[in-house]
Amino acid sequence: MTWTNQLRDSQPTSTSFRDFTQSLPPFFFSSNFSATKHSCLSPLTATMAAAAAIFLFLLISSAAAAPEPRPQTFIVHVSQSHKPALFSSHRDWYASILPHPSALLYTYSHAAAGFSASLTADQASRLLRTPGILSVVPDQIRHLHTTHTPSFLGLSPSSPLSLNSANGDGVIIGVLDTGIWPLHPSFDDAAFPAAADKIPAKWRGVCESGKDFPAAACNRKLIGARAFYKGYESYRGRPIDETKESKSPKDTEGHGTHTASTAGGSVVTNASLFGYAAGDARGLAPSAWVAAYKICWSPGCFDSDILAAFDQAVDDGVDVISLSVGGSYPPPYDSDSIAIGAFAAAKKGIVVSCSAGNSGPGAYTATNIAPWILTVGASTVDRDFPADVVLGDGSVHRGVSLYGGDGLPEGELLPLVYSADCGSRYCYSGNLDPAKVKGKIVLCDRGGNARVEKGASVKLAGGAGMIMANTDLEGDELLADAHLIPATMVGATEGDKIRAYIQSAASPSATIQFRGTVIGEDTPPAPKVASFSSRGPNRVTPEILKPDVIAPGVNILAGWTGAAAPSDLEIDPRRVTFNIISGTSMSCPHVSGLAALLKGAHPDWSPAAIKSAMITTATTFDNSGENINDLATGKGTTPFVYGAGHVVPNAAVSPGLVYDLNTTDYVSFLCSSGYSASRIAVIFGEPIASDVCEHAPALTAGPGDLNYPSFSVVFKPKSDVVTYKRVVKNVGSSVDAVYEIKVNAPVNVDVQVSPTKLVFSKESSSLAYEITFSSSVVGFDNGAASQSFGFVEWSDGVHKVRSPIAVQWRQGGSVESI
């Protein structure tokens, strides 16, 4: 699990075939990988490489006298037109080419074309040679990457978006996560009409029952729930242990209940966590229906299960899919099950919102970056939970905490020690010396283990309290936690000061003052970008700017399961109705709920139009009127970190212009990115003509020519001019609107737009323009920057349609460090 409460510095390793194959690029198992400008492998070489990789593993295993590896899960993409006529169904065909019909786990027909099966390495290699097989990809494990946030976003019952969308009434949000706690008040249906015909006829979903999840668990709010576990059980090699995990849609982790209630939870009065963040809790789209698809289990979320859930959600009839799950790196789109499933959803008019990941602040860390996905980073809100450290010298150091028990002795300072002097810098459990810790407050460094676990370790050693200090990696980002001991978190700057005090004072001492919940003027300016939020540039297609936007993802209150503690630690006996956690997992459902509102307000808009509305109306300013800062650096940030900026829901409902896209546009994009027809067929889940790229409308400037609402420009040696074409559609109330351009050019770049004025009419509701970027950097000399940023903005005097510009100068295949 990678919502930020559970981050670890290291992961266990093993020598299984799964680990071996996952260390290889996914295209090693594709018969379609072709030589392009992005690759040095021919189709034959790629296929031989796949076979060689499998043979090498078997050879190494044999040499080591290891037992034959047990079957593993593979996802197999097929050309459905190759089904022999003698088979009545594709499922029968798939079963016939497998060693045994029982090896078949799932068949995919809506989110992809193909199946997943339990195979040995040798069987997977031989399957590649079967006519009609496009690729064989090893199953991968992915990981899970509010009372006040609607108000912070400007949403209220009388706000423009709420009124225009009826709070999401009529929209179905599908949440792919850890399941759902059906008895939670966020999914109460009292506010929903009792008439059976209120649920739309298009809904084809069901409420799957289980030992601990009766069919009656669903209602007029929670209209569907399913569980997908065949990939997980194949990984285990045995059935799920139902004494430890629920095989039903029931959420025993908490994450799925939190994300579902954030996106579409009903209004719940008097919500809080131990009295913190008290108020009325509501999802972004409280009148929307919710359907839960359980895809994540104790080790993580398996691609075979994720793709099966996409397949089912598309067929069930959802309008929005919310997915707060991702991998450690973004693979090519035809090897990315989330990208493949999301594309199938987009073709059906379904908006797919995904978390960017929690691997910041490093560059190139964003995942879920296909252009048909709405990729969301995380930011703060103007609500704080101050728990300040007061040192023996009288200095006060800002911290945050959600500790809900008895405080430290009032008016008394306790001895203060640094954990590195007591046996464990990171306060690992069992490693602190009780003789040095007992009765004292311990300063622990962040990292290495779960944040709440550090306090538990101090408590186990007899400590009285804990101060957790960020390192330079996290900067001054503050994440509040429900600690088991009086404890607080301080930023890197304050942590350095406290360490210095411990080293210099003869008898260092401290206390922690818990000040509850603070909202508004007494909090730091917001939003700020969370340091953990994954960033661009886009690793797969640098000409597409990712992430798209940021949204609230730090210290978010939402529903929680009754089966797990707020700290997610087994030693924690507490149970709560609401919990406060952080991560891009929390920002994603905010945008999913916003997408549901926009879908309700504009049911005829495409997923691309809804995304465009969010991007072009986003803000780059905080609530003090200053530029949004990055918590990792304490300084201003860029579109590679926050995309277009922070979402502004009430502006998105009336964006003025939208940049729209359709299936043909994505074909052209993939062709310009070097994908062959057979690789495109994997993504499309349907047969593609072998000469499709010869007939698709050309993107003359490459992938960046896609009609995307932002601009990511890559200058390379001997390529100092880039021209893109864009088409905008007038969706404002005035059919004869006139828009004029404003340009804020990046440093060292000249930007020219033609025409500079767009005159719309009833007959001309969509108009095109060209934008040319010219670099003034000559020969990548060392006096220039490697990145530069700006924006263009179309305005009719009422609307401001803003598109960010991110520029890179690249030497060969990597960013030029100049």
The three-point CA angle 158-277-451 to 5° equals: 135
Q: Cβ distance 557 to 148 under 8 Å?
A: yes
Amino acid at 39: S
Residues 255, 397, 483, 590: which is the catalytic one? 255
Question: Is residue 507 classed exposed, middle or buried when 0-12, 13-18 and 19+ CB atoms within 10 A define those classes?
Answer: exposed
- Torsions phi, psi of 389, nearest 5? -90, 125
Locate 267 and state its tokens.
Answer: 């209004």
- In degrees and rounded to multiples of 5, residue 335 shows phi and psi of -110, 5
- Is residue 585 part of the annotated active site? The answer reads yes
Structural contact between residues 144 and 254, judged by C-beta atoms closer than 8 angstroms: no
The whole-angstrom distance between residue 337's C-alpha and the CA centroid of its chain comes to 14
Token output for 595:
């997408």
- CB-CB contact of 35 with 49 (8 Å): no
Cα dihedral: 436, 442, 443, 446 (round 10): 100
Show the tokens assigned to 121: 């390495």
At which residue do the structure tokens 């995304």 appear? 611
| Contact (CB, 8 A) for 301 and 183 | no
Structure tokens at 410: 């009032």
Strand bridging mode 104-108 / 114-119: antiparallel
One of 159, 585, 587, 673 is an active-site residue; which one?
A: 585
Exactly one of 79, 110, 151, 177 is catalytic; name it: 177
Active site residue 646: no
Per-position DSSP letters for 183-230, written without gaps between them: TSGGG--TTS---GGGS-TT----B--BTTB-GGG--SSEEEEEE--H
CB atoms within 10 A of CB 191: 12
**Cα-Cα end-to-end distance for the chain:** 37
DSSP 400-412: E----S--SPTT-
- Asked about 305 being catalytic, the answer comes back as no
DSSP per-residue codes, 28-43? GGBTT----TT----H
Token digits of residue 764: 């001309």
Q: What are phi and psi of 451, to 5 degrees?
A: -65, -45
Query: Which amino acid is present at 600?
Result: G
Annotated catalytic residues are 177, 255, 585
